[in-house]
Structure 1
Amino acid sequence: MLRSKLIHPKILEVLGRCGHHAKILIADGNYPASSTLGPNAELVSLNLMPGLPTVNQVLEAVASAITIDIANTMDYERTGQYALTEDPPVWKDFQKTLDSEGLKIKLQPIEKWAFYEAVRTPDHVLTIQTADQQRFANLLLSVGVRMD
């Protein structure tokens, strides 16, 4: 029986094949996951019901299983119907989770349309679709190197 936080068989399978620089997207419930997959990526749909699970819950499980070098958020819009006037509150939760795993990285926003392009690359190996309803809760992780 597994004892780690992450126990999802398909996610563990894909993470086990990852190498340095592989990209993992943890997508919120509004993200167009099926139409933005990279050519080598698999999609795992965890969207159980509105709000469950959240991106941060999935981040906690994934961060317990792999080394992460980079954590990119989708930068938020500052004009239009989805605009925000400050960083989304969920970004503080992401940073707290990364910190609690001992990862010394800071969130790095990528402009919305550039974020979609970053996900469509050949090194994107996995999208985990959540049902998170918070705006701009998408998180693109780059796998690091295990040093121990």
Structure 2
Amino acid sequence: MLKNIDPRLSPELLMNLAEMGHGDEIVIADGNFPGASVNPNCLRYDTSGVPNLLEAVLSVLPLDPYSDWQYGLMETVGDDPTPPIWSEYKDLVEAAYPGATVKQIERFEFYERARQAFAVVVTGETALYANIILKKGVVTP
């Protein structure tokens, strides 16, 4: 056991977060996301929703202040409404990184970014459009 590490973070996820470098991206996805087919480094968190895991990840992962955006959301398609879960994400990210900027990412561009991401974490989240990309920054003194 380790001290001061959120127990929601598994050893496998902690290893992935630690191995990421500046500018690398990680996707935390809902249960509908095709994680295993878009990225060979797909971790499963079926017993957690995205907000729960996002809060834990943000407790250890610095976001990139030098990027135009620190987190990205998959755009809705057609007349689909704005997902209520996005306001939860905004609140969680803002609490950890005040002033963080969001980027809306078109669906197929989001899949392409997921292919290039360091890892994809698929959760048991049932909300639609509940996928988020985090861009890793650096730890500063």
Using the size of structure 1 for normalisation, the TM-score is: 0.84
Alignment-mate amino acid for residue 115 of structure 1: F
Checking the alignment, whether the CA contact within 8 Å between 1:71 and 1:106 is kept in structure 2 is: yes
Per-residue CA distance 1:55-90 (angstroms, 9 max, x = gap): 1111101000011121000111124xxxx23x2111
Q: CA deviation at 1:100?
A: 1.2
Using the size of structure 2 for normalisation, the TM-score is: 0.88
- Asked if 1:45 is matched to 2:44, the reply is yes
For 1:144 and 1:94, the matched residues in 2 are separated by 18
Q: CA deviation at 1:12?
A: 0.6
Identity %: 27
Question: Of 117, 120, 130, which residue of structure 2 is paired with 1:137?
Answer: 130
Question: Of 97, 108, 114, which residue of structure 2 is paired with 1:113?
Answer: 108
Number of aligned residue pairs: give it.
134
Q: CA deviation at 1:4?
A: 2.4
**RMSD in angstroms over aligned alpha carbons?**
1.4
For 1:66 and 1:73, the matched residues in 2 are separated by 18
Q: CA deviation at 1:107?
A: 2.0
Checking the alignment, whether the CA contact within 8 Å between 1:73 and 1:108 is kept in structure 2 is: yes
Unaligned segments of structure 2, at least 5 residues:
65-69
For 2:136 and 2:4, the matched residues in 1 are separated by 21
- Asked if 1:22 is matched to 2:21, the reply is no
- Give 1:88's aligned residue: 83
Unaligned segments of structure 1, at least 5 residues:
none
Moved over 6 A (4+): none
SS in 1 for 2:118: strand
